[in-house]
Amino acid sequence: MKKFFTILITKFLRIIGKLVGKGSSLPGKIALKLCPDILSRVKLPPYIIAVTGSNGKTSTVEMIAHLLTENGKTVAWNKEGSNQIEGVTTLVLSKSTLGGRVKSDILLIESDERFARYTFRYITPTHYVITNLYRDQLTRNGHPEWVYDALADSISDKMQLILNADDPLVSLFGYERDNVLWFGADKLSTDTAYNDSVYDDGAYCPHCKKPMTYSTRHYNHIGHYACPSCGYHRHATDYTVTSVDLEKGKMVINGKDTIDLALRSLYNMYNLLAAYTVGSIVGLDGADMAHNLKEYVLKNGRIVSFTIGQRPGTLLVSKHENSVSYDQSIRIATANQHGCDVLIIVDAVSRKYFTSDVSWLWDIDFEKLLNDNVHEIVLAGTYCNDLAVRFSYTDIPQENIKVFRKIEDAYQYLDNDRQEYIYAITCFSDKGKFLSLVKGGSIG
Amino acid sequence: MKLLHLYHDIMNLYGDYANISALTRIFGNSSIDCTVDKRSLADEVDLRPYDFIYIGSGTEKNRNVVMADMQKYKEALREKRDSGTPILLTGNAFEMLGQSVTDAAGTAHEGLGLYDFTVTEQNKTRTTSDAILTASFSDKPLVGFINKCSEIEGIHSPLFTVQMGLGNNSHDKYEGLHDHCLFGTHLTGPVLIKNPHFLIYLAQQIAGEKASISVEYLTYENAAYQISLHELQQRKESTTVH
């Protein structure tokens, strides 16, 4: 009876919550108070697919859900991205019958990295995708190895791991383990032989801590690595991006399935590859998936079109405290051959907690904005001076950089006759302040 | 000036490299000759010629690898400290100077033994905080961020008094380590960028009292510092129970 009432109350709270526009974690929180082991009392579908990692979780999960749904599967997934145990509990119970059975073919869970060990104490994923481990929210997460240790606590022997072979730290989860499927990219035309970022988390072997070598680098520490000392090396892949052409916007998986890209970035490539991998495991056809994913535009609001006066632009929602996320946006801006101006806003570092730490600005490859395609750079927000200091350590001419404390002033400035396309780069925490000023704000 | 950035690649977790960039720039703008040597695990360095030594923060595992490697510099480092050479250690780097670091599994790793303190780590809760710290050598407080998982017992000459943030251990309002011209602090990342007054002070210590240090260019740095200090003070007031 306890189970019945807990599910009933959760469903009721979820409906009320949706009506008043509240987040999806509160019903689960209350359910866990009423019945702490409720998740282990519910009968779950045969496929429980979990996705975690520093970057790309939400996008990957959305693409997997899209693929599965398009191919006739029913999927229960945490669309709102509430990815800690409370949000997952809300998801499971609201998709469950009152008798305690989740009716969908597949339960698809996006999980926070640090809290996965709590969630998966009650739910054991049958398939566990780990996308990457980057420097992300270090003011809370400590560092990638700290997150690695926390994630290791969430993995059990029974799970089928699905790992990014190109990430040496993620791949360590699969070291001397049998039930692992690997995804990754062959040497790409955009690769570099050496690390060209301001820091290098691939300099030393995560297994033995001796210097590691790369035969090719896709970006940062992502690439084909090998440790000459202990022999740890990139694993051969089961699902592989065999070629990618970012200019034409095409990627090929396993040498046969071509996907047309809506967002032309290597990061998007990995999300698509991870989704394709999961789809294949569930039994979907590669050609069908390539068709389903063709020019797929994410609906999670990470890419937003706008205009300022007569000037069109795109908001590239990036994550503060996450240099790889910024690097991704910088690559998109520098690829615009018609020329662009770039606005960067750092006003509140986080929407969830307070910090004034901006050390992460020094891990971002702002140097790469020294590019013929990038003309003017506008810095705004409470931490505009910290941004200006960071930019003063690049070779970008100071006269090309404008600094405004108020976002409104930056907006007024950008409402000018310049012909350049505008890229606005900022975080969830600050995007609303910008979108409230501009026209448009449509996704896509 | 000869600056040594030790373990530049493995102890660079929070943008710590920018401290060396800041010193290079202030000396450049002051027309003081300055060279930087970046050295790491594979190297064997004669510390004696250097006017300044810096080590930044690393993961616990990386710091332990470095600590084992640093045993070869133990005596040379002691001599540099005793002769008054400025040494800056940010994040968990200064933890290496004590007797031992006991990791979360309970294994004790041998420290450099320059001091009597001991370090104990855990791996369950990351201890982090924004910080406002005051010091006897500075009329302005320092701002920054502390990111650690350790408790230190037995430091008798701390660097800072904690106004906001974390001390060397949970029952202590003193932070860091200060001895001669050695500055150790759990503040992470670009401490010298965030605190232009500390940059000027340290540059003066390195170049000597008579050196003329140029400070006019630090406009954005000073503005950034003022805003951060203001934000932190506001935060401190709003979270203090009256």
Beta bridge partners of A127: A49, A160
A421 is written with which tokens?
Answer: 């396309």
Is the model's pLDDT at A387 over the cut of 60? yes
Mean pLDDT across B189-214: 98
Is the model's pLDDT at B139 over the cut of 50? yes
- In this prediction, residue B25 carries a pLDDT of 98
A105-141: per-residue pLDDT in tens?
999 999 999 889 999 999 999 999 999 999 999 999 9
| SS3 label, residue A37 | coil
- Residue of A197, A183, A164, A167 whose CA lies nearest to A327: A197
CATH topology of domain B2-239: Rossmann fold (3.40.50)
CB–CB contact A143 B13 (8 Å):
yes
Judged by a CB distance cut-off of 8 A, whether residue B69 touches chain A is no
Beta bridge partners of A223: A217
3-state helix, strand, coil in chain B (%, to 5): 35, 30, 40
- Chain B contact probe: residue of A133, A198, A208, A356 with most B CBs at under 10 A: A356
Q: Which of B147, B193, B220 sits opposite A142 (nearest CB)?
A: B147
pLDDT classification of B75: cutoffs 50, 70, 90: very high
pTM over 0.90: yes
CB–CB contact B10 A383 (8 Å):
no
- In this prediction, residue A24 carries a pLDDT of 81
Is the model's pLDDT at A228 over the cut of 80? yes
Is the model's pLDDT at A276 over the cut of 50? yes
Judged by a CB distance cut-off of 8 A, whether residue B34 touches chain A is no
CB–CB contact B17 A204 (8 Å):
no
Which superfamily does CATH assign the domain made up of A303-443 to?
Answer: Mur ligase, C-terminal domain (3.90.190.20)
Give dist(CA A66, CA A409) in Å, integer. Answer: 40
Closest-CA distance, B84 to chain A, in angstroms, reads 29
CA dihedral over A99, A100, A105, A108, signed as positive or negative = positive
- In this prediction, residue A88 carries a pLDDT of 87
- Residue of B40, B33, B41, B30 whose CA lies nearest to B3: B33
Is the model's pLDDT at B17 over the cut of 60? yes
Intra-chain end-to-end CA distance of chain B, in Å = 49
- In this prediction, residue B241 carries a pLDDT of 55
Mean pLDDT across A203-229: 97
Q: Which of A209, A354, A385 sits opposite B227 (nearest CB)?
A: A385
Give dist(CA A199, CA A184) in Å, integer. Answer: 22
Containing A424, the helix (H) or strand (E) segment is strand A421-426
**Mean of the per-residue pLDDT values for chain A?**
94
Q: Dihedral through CA A425, CA A429, CA A430, CA A435, nearest 10?
A: 90
Mean pLDDT across B169-189: 97
Judged by a CB distance cut-off of 8 A, whether residue A353 touches chain B is no
- Residue of A168, A130, A136, A57 whose CA lies nearest to A364: A136
Is the model's pLDDT at A293 over the cut of 80? yes
Mean pLDDT across A251-262: 96
A325-344: per-residue pLDDT in tens?
999 999 999 999 999 999 99
Is the model's pLDDT at A13 over the cut of 90? no
CB–CB contact B18 A393 (8 Å):
yes
- In this prediction, residue A443 carries a pLDDT of 54
pLDDT classification of B40: cutoffs 50, 70, 90: very high
Percent of the residues in chain B that have a pLDDT greater than 90, as a whole number: 97
Closest-CA distance, B237 to chain A, in angstroms, reads 13
Q: Which of A149, A200, A362 sits opposite B15 (nearest CB)?
A: A362
- In this prediction, residue A442 carries a pLDDT of 62
Q: Do domains A2-292 and A303-443 have the same CATH topology?
A: no
Contacts of A327 (CB under 8 A, 6+ apart): A197, A219, A220, A364, A365, A368
Out of A97-101, B23-27, B35-39, which region has the weakest mean confidence (pLDDT)?
A: A97-101
pLDDT classification of A257: cutoffs 50, 70, 90: very high
- Assign domain A2-292 one CATH number from 3.90.1150.10, 3.40.50.920, 3.40.109.10, 3.40.1190.10: 3.40.1190.10
Q: Is A310 exposed, middle or buried (0-12, 13-18, 19+ CB in 10 A)?
A: exposed
Out of A217-231, A430-444, B151-165, which region has the weakest mean confidence (pLDDT)?
A: A430-444
- In this prediction, residue A295 carries a pLDDT of 87
- Chain A contact probe: residue of B16, B64, B126 with most A CBs at under 10 A: B126
A236 is written with which tokens?
Answer: 């051969």
Is the model's pLDDT at B9 over the cut of 90? yes
- In this prediction, residue B2 carries a pLDDT of 98
Residue A149 with chain B: CB contacts under 8 Å? 123
Residue A359 with chain B: CB contacts under 8 Å? 14-15, 145, 188-190
- In this prediction, residue A441 carries a pLDDT of 67
Judged by a CB distance cut-off of 8 A, whether residue B220 touches chain A is yes
Q: Which of B18, B126, B224 sits opposite A385 (nearest CB)?
A: B224
pLDDT classification of A444: cutoffs 50, 70, 90: very low
- In this prediction, residue A17 carries a pLDDT of 85
B81-137: per-residue pLDDT in tens?
999 999 999 999 999 999 999 999 999 999 999 999 999 999 999 999 999 999 999
Mean pLDDT across A144-157: 96
pLDDT classification of B238: cutoffs 50, 70, 90: confident
ipTM above 0.95, yes or no: yes
Give dist(CA B125, CA B225) in Å, integer. Answer: 29
Q: Where are the domains of chain A?
A: 2-292, 303-443
Residue B17 with chain A: CB contacts under 8 Å? 198-199, 362
